[in-house]
Structure formats: structure tokens, C-alpha cells
Chain A
């Protein structure tokens, strides 16, 4: 457990958020170092290409965009990614501050509005924040440090190579000294150095990077109630709104009567919102909005609406029957996602085959903060305060929906009370904006928990069938994995039942097993609800199936789980996409394969670390067992070893060991917190959380019937972070912890009880 100092006692003003390093910070041990002049060869880190260049608006490395220094020395850093709990609002500025030699206690963070041409890509998604911005953050910090030193050298008339910068102070060879504030104006007027002109810190000179000793930026505000989330901005004259939405996506109000709603004290007006449906990206579902002087009046008004709903074409969606159809589809060949070797020959020559099918229900994200947003439409333009993962997308989408010039739309990003993919989709923000224009006043849009559970962009549901061929010596000679799931694509374009390469790349066709003949196929499935992405996306069903299958195969062949995993993973090697039967459009999380390969050595290593950590193989009492699973996703590798124990007929997981290889780790403390959180969320996926549909409408509504893991049954997680130097590229953290958890629990349940469960959620009772 990491320990932190008490926050220091300086008054904290609204915008000034000073964090504090802990007593474990060794502030005196980092030596000062001399700077090269711009033109001199430098101690650079080796730049490497990432998928960031391929993201809309790429990466901006201009320090003048991200850094300002006040005369008093306060360094203000811009956080351009949304904070939804992963810590990016802390960790990226922390990297900038470290490379700048700024004192973290003199740094404040401001949040960028949605403006990608200025800040670069802001789509906080795909576990990309650190992976795509650690080089940029070092470059920006190093640039400012170099410019400060050059400004001092100019002022003192000395060789810049003799100037040192250390903890917010610039020192000259004859004892000269200046603070950052003294030099700021001159420094920021200098040319920005190139990468080669910057003398970067060596890794042993890092103060904050890799240490895990800073408090998160918003910690004080979070613990005092001052932190601002989506529904927390108060504007003069603000109205409060809720919406009655069609129970079935694509449905409409055939008629409605608002007489009684309008009679509720506090209710001011009722509005019909244009209807949406599938293939309309993140457009609102439509419905009847009630605007009132407070949220309670709006809720009572909504209850008093009389609405006749028309279900539309998706009114026949019943998820139980749909699951049977998907399972039937998985019995038939699908479209090829990978074809390595000669699978037909392998099956033709097989001594026997072994087949299992796994399923998974839809999932709703249910962040603790249900969707909420504030919009203020005036003659000057539209201003929004909202908890959104991609504010620039929101700005453009709303401008388009309302026929506004995007230049006249400003999207301010509040803290997100959890996102998990739900807040990539800003239907709730558009609702607020439309209503603000309608009523001529600022509007706070509030979704209830029932709204959130019933009108999400759901994680896909799936059937996964895996069949292997075995030779006479029980060697696995062929692997056939058929995946059937409605696609995210259906949210963006008319649905033909096909999945995207990126969904296949998330654990289906990137399976790294050392099997000569591998075929992966996708079966068609038409969507009948809005399919979105939930933390880890298609990796969840794929890892669920593969991880459970490995456990079953181990049992079938009389091997322990670790042995089975290691045999299938094979010797340390990198998967060669050219000779693995992968399609040309194979998706490696948007990253170049040469820089971010599929490395079986890393995969085996995290498995061994987790298994060793928990003591896999040790004797356990009756009713207890350990399950193992490992998965690569978001170009990281995570293994989970779950100790399952049956207590009073209920599945508990008192202990987990999770091992993550995320390349170079900038902030191990936040990586640990993400892994602890992924363990809990993965366990919710495993045991509790399933969305089902009857006649097109979601059956569940609130925590009554859509529950999650609570503190009476959380796993105590020991997190193992595989250490790496900076040269081993930083990879994803937010999502990759989730996929291995459910199969590890299923394998642990089987080890504990002999009870094999193949459907998610598997239920908490035995």
C-alpha cells in the first residue's frame, strides 16, 4: 500500500489544485544536470511511431498550447484528455512537470474544452491516453526546460550548457539564480527546440515519473464535495429537465397528453424531442421532455405524462430467442477473420475434437454518475458543460444536429463520474442543447438510473464457439473459433450483420496460440438495440470464451491450467502477421505491429507472475479453487489468478493476483488503482451484470435487478506491474485488466466445485 503525506495547509482556491508528493518522495536525490545548447547533441530518448498519428488531429507538441508560467512561478498545465477515473488528468501533466523540472506543488491543472485542432486528439477512449501522449508530454516538458535555460543564459551572458534547472529554479555557473516566473516571459518567446535539441532527463533523474507518489489532481475537491461533475454547474435561470424516451429503440410516441404533467407545480413546459433509432450515431432516442424549476418537479411531471408508445421494427427483440439464433449461427461457417495453415486437413486427420460454446448477455455501463449535462443556448452561441469522453466530437455532432457553426459551440469538460464508454456517446448532451434553445434558458438534463439502464448503448451480446482438433497424443492441431455478435457498426451505418476488423482484432483473430492451423470466423448478427462499447469491448466475450475453453481443455486432457496455458502460448516469439493467416486489415489497436508486436513471451510471463503470486497449485480446502486466465488487449498483457471460495452458497473471490505488462509505466499508483478497479468490474461482469430484452424493451431498471459487486464481496487484489525501461513502449492500462477476470473466476469456480458455467453473467449463487 502506498502512503501519502497530508495535503499541505495552503488555502485551495477554486481553480488551483495543488497536489503533494508523499513522504516516500526523495526530493533531494535527483541531481541537477547541465543543459546542452539548442544545437548540441543531446541525451534524447528514441522517438517511436504510434497510432497517435492516425488519430483525428493527431498529437500537438507545442508547449505554448499546453504550458503557461505566471510571474509568481505557478506553472499551469492543460489537461486535454477527459478524466473519468483513470488518472490521465494527473499522469500526463505529471510527466510534463517532471521533464520540465517543475515542482509539482507549484503546478495547477486546467481542463481543455473540446478543440482538437488546437490540442490534438481528445477522444479519451481505447486506453490510449498515456500510450499516445507520454512522448508528447516529455517533449513539452523538455522544451520548456530548455527554453527557460536558454533565457537564463541569454540574460546572464553565459553558455547555456553551464545552466542547470532543478525544481523550479534555474542556476548559472557563477551562482546566478532565477525562478521560473522570472524567466517565463523571455523563455516563452524563444523558438521551441526540436526533439534532438533537448537534453532529456535520464530515467534515474525522474522525480515523479515511474514513482507513483503524487496525489491525483482532484483529490481534495473530490473529498470535500467541491469537484464538478456533469450535473454540478449552477447557472442563473437554469431549468431542470428529464425525458420520457421510447422503451424500444426506434419507437415513437403515437400520441401523448401532457395536461396533468403541466399541472404539476414547478413544471414549466413539455417538448417533443426528434426521434432517433439505430444507425444514427449518438443522436437522441427522442421522446417527451419535461422542463421544470427543479429536478423533482420534472420527475413528477414525467410520471404524469400519458404516452402511447409505438414500438417500431425492434419491438420483437427478445434476447433469449436471439441468443438461440446466435448459437445456431455459430454452428455454421462464417466470414473468415483468420486462416492459418490447413484447418480442414487438421480436422480431417484428428483423433478427436473438443468443442464448447460460451455466451454473454448485453452489459450496461452504469457509471455512478448517470448521464447529465448542462447547456446554455444564447444569441452568441451554445455553451455546454458535460462529462464527455470526446468533447470535440460532441461539439461537431451538436453543431450539425442544430445547424450551428461549430465555432459558436463551446464544450467544457467536467469530471466524469465514470465513463466506461457510455460517455463517448453524447445523446444526453444533445438533449440538453435542443431544450436550451427551445426554452431560451440554460437547461440541466438529468438521466435517472432507470433511464441509464434502459437507454444505454449496450455492450454487444455474443455466442462464441471454439472447437479444437487433437491428434492421438492429445496435441492441439487445429483451432476453430466462431464468434457471433451484433456489431458497433450498426450504430453508425445501416446494419448488414457484419462486425468490424477492430472487433475481430480484440481477442478473436489475434489469438497468439502456438497451433499450426487456426481459423477464426465471424457469423452474422443483426442489431436490435444500440450497440456501443464497454470497457475492453469485444475482448470481454473473446477472452471469456478462450479463457474458459483453456480451463476446460486442461481438465479434458488431465493437465493443470498453467501447463495448458503455457503449452498453448508456446515458446517466446512475436506473431508474424504475414505468416499467420491474418487479413490485410488486421487491427492491432491502431498501432504499428513493428513497434507493438504480439509477444508470447510477455503473455507467458504475466501468467507465471500471477500464478506464482497466488501460489497456484497449493493445497486448498474443500469449496475453494484457483482459476487462471491471461489476455492481450490494448497492446498490454494482463493475467488474473482468482482464488474462488464458496461461502454460504455464494461465490466469493477473497483474493486475486493480477499481473500487467503495460510497457514503461509512468504512474504505477494509478495503474494499480485501475487494475484493482478492473478486478471488481470484471467480477461484476462475471457474476452479476446482464441486460436482457423482452419485446424490444430492457427488462432491468436499477440496482434491484442490475447489480454489481459491492464491498461485501470484493477481491483483495495484489497488482504486479512488470518493470520496463522507457524504451519498452507504454501501452494501455484502463481497459486490459477487465477481460481475463471472468474466465479466471469461472476456472476457479470449476476448481472449487466442479461446476462449469458457460454463460455471462454466471450468477453469484452455487
Chain B
């Protein structure tokens, strides 16, 4: 059995301890905002916060996050109005939208750690989150907007 704090509530999983956190979040907890994109930690679609840090949920086994505080997109803000989410809306960032929850979680973790990142720091932090639709220009603009208000 693995116990985690998922979006502020204690949650127990009785399934295999080697199950990636991603599938526990999706299939067992039924929180589908966290996406499967590659399963090997190369695309960022499954990005969640583990004790406040951005991590790839597909790369963490349940037994590796025992007792950890996990935040998914659903738990980011009670009203869904985190300033990063708001910046995403201001700039109409998404196309298909599938990768965007991972992008937002990555951006939030960046800004929590570094509230005023330079453009190079934004690119470095976001470069492992793939967007096949190619929304990068607006993603970077939205991170900058959330950071600086412009």
C-alpha cells in the first residue's frame, strides 16, 4: 500500500508499488488532467508537482512518492484561476490543448522557484515540454506575462 497526499487529501493505493504515479493518478484516482504523452520522461505532458517541484509522473513509481505531496492541474488553484492559468487564457495559448496542463504545471514550478526568470531561463525550463501543435511562441509569452504582467 502506498499513501500520498493528492491535491491536499490523503489517498491510498493498494496496487503494485512499481506502478508509475501517472497511471495511479489517471486510472485509479480518475484525475485525467495529467496526460500520457510518451511514458519515458521526454515530453512533459504528465508534469505534476511533487513536494512543490515539477516532476514527470510517468517516471516516478508509487513507492518512490510514499508520503509525498502531489499536486496535479486539478489541485493547482481552487477556482482554476492561478495567474499562470490566467496568463494562458489571456494569450489564447492552446491549439489542441493536450500538452497544456503539463506546460502550465512546469511553468508554475519555474515561477515558484524563480519569480522573474530571464527569457533564456524560461526556454531552458520549458524546453522538455513538447507541443506538437507548436504553441511555443505563445507559451513563452504566457510564462513571461505571468511573471511580469506584460
Contact = CB atoms under 8 A, between A and B. Distances in A.
Interface in B41-56: 42-43, 45
A688 to B, nearest CB: 11
A227 B97 contact: yes
A516 to B, nearest CB: 40
A680 B92 CA distance: 17
B32 interface: yes
Given A223-B88, A367-B96, A415-B97, A294 B19 contact: yes
Contacts of A712: 123-124, 127
A227 B32 CA distance: 9
Interface string A297-322: 10010000000000000000000000
A104 B101 CA distance: 26
Interface residues of B, number: 61
Interface residues of A, number: 72
A716 B74 CA distance: 31
A492 B32 CA distance: 36
Contact of B98 (A417, A673, A702): A417
A312 to B, nearest CB: 28
Given A368-B98, A669-B92, A711-B139, A680 B134 contact: yes
Which of A85, A225, A681, A710 neighbours the largest number of chain B CB atoms within 10 Å of its CB? A225
Given A6-B90, A294-B19, A710-B127, A225 B39 contact: no
B113 interface: no
Interface in A1-52: 1-7
B134 A225 contact: no
Interface in A703-724: 703-704, 708-712, 714-717
Given A4-B91, A677-B135, A711-B140, A368 B42 contact: no
**What is the predominant secondary structure among interface residues of chain A facing chain B?**
loop
A714 B34 CA distance: 25
**What is the predominant secondary structure among interface residues of chain B facing chain A?**
loop
A85 B19 contact: no
Interface string B57-98: 000000000000000111000001000011011111011111
A744 B128 CA distance: 26
Contacts of B92: 2, 4, 215-216, 219, 669, 673
A368 B16 contact: no
B109 to A, nearest CB: 15
B3 interface: no
Interface stretch (A228-236, A466-474, A520-528, A576-584): A228-236
A711 B139 CA distance: 9
A220 B42 contact: no
Interface in A341-389: 366-370
Contact of B96 (A84, A219, A265): A84
The 10 A-B pairs at the shortest CB distance, nearest first, are namely A225-B33, A680-B134, A417-B98, A85-B96, A85-B95, A222-B97, A225-B73, A677-B134, A224-B80, A712-B127
Interface of B: 15-16, 19-20, 23-24, 26-28, 30-40, 42-43, 45, 72-74, 80, 85-86, 88-92, 94-101, 104, 123-124, 126-141
11 contacts: A85-B94, A86-B95, A225-B33, A225-B34, A226-B74, A295-B27, A673-B95, A678-B134, A703-B38, A704-B40, A711-B140
Given A224-B74, A418-B95, 11 more contacts: A3-B91, A7-B86, A215-B92, A222-B97, A224-B80, A295-B27, A366-B132, A368-B35, A369-B35, A420-B132, A673-B95
